[in-house]
Amino acid sequence: MPGFPIRLPRTITIGEVARRSGVAASALRFYEDRGLIASERAGSGHRRFPRHVLRRIAFIVFAQRIGLTLDEIGAELGKLPQGRTPTRADWRRLSSGWSGRIDARIAELQRLKSGLTECIGCGCLSLERCRLANPADRAGINGPGARYWLGDRPGS
């Protein structure tokens, strides 16, 4: 009827959460096992999630995309208020310190893009170009891994 608000259910099934969030049910169960999200059990034993879990899942997916580990995500989620649905201000406060990490991730991706066909200082010496850019594995003195991709400069 027009003018009457739609009453949404207080909890939703794991299938509905998976559909709405785009995250597989198996991943949702994994997140729950890790303590990142929580559900209630219906009388039948099926999981029922509070509607606000969709925001937590969106946060988890976003945080993973910028490179946070599940342990770091759990620590961040632990900063949210307990006993009430987090507000926009709560979410803003939680993610406000990530600009530096996002900038570092962007720089890392740009280095990867520009280094796809160049020497990345890995020490393999298998490419003709590598012998010129990293003779005798000079990049190796800076530590393990693909040094130029990690941000080291040739000759440094």
The ranges assigned to domains in the chain are 11-97, 115-156
Q: What span, in angstroms and rounded, lies between the C-alpha atoms of 22 and 35?
A: 19
Q: Which two tokens stand for residue 135?
A: 């003779």
Q: What span, in angstroms and rounded, lies between the C-alpha atoms of 153 and 16?
A: 49
End-to-end Cα, the chain, rounded Å: 72
Q: Can you give the pTM of this predicted structure?
A: 0.67
Q: Which residue reads 């949210």 in tokens? A: 80
Specify the pairing of strand 47-50 against strand 40-41: antiparallel
Neighbours of 17 (CB within 10 A): 23
3-state secondary structure of 11: strand
**Whole-number pLDDT of residue 127:** 66
Query: Mean pLDDT for each consecutive 10-residue tract of the chain (156 residues)?
Result: 69 93 96 94 86 91 89 90 81 82 86 72 68 75 81 75
For residue 120, which of 148, 143, 156, 152 has the smallest C-alpha distance? 148
Q: Is the dihedral of CA 139, 142, 146, 150 positive or negative?
A: negative
The yes/no answer on whether domain 11-97 falls in CATH 1.10.1660.10 is yes
Report which DSSP code applies to 40.
Answer: E
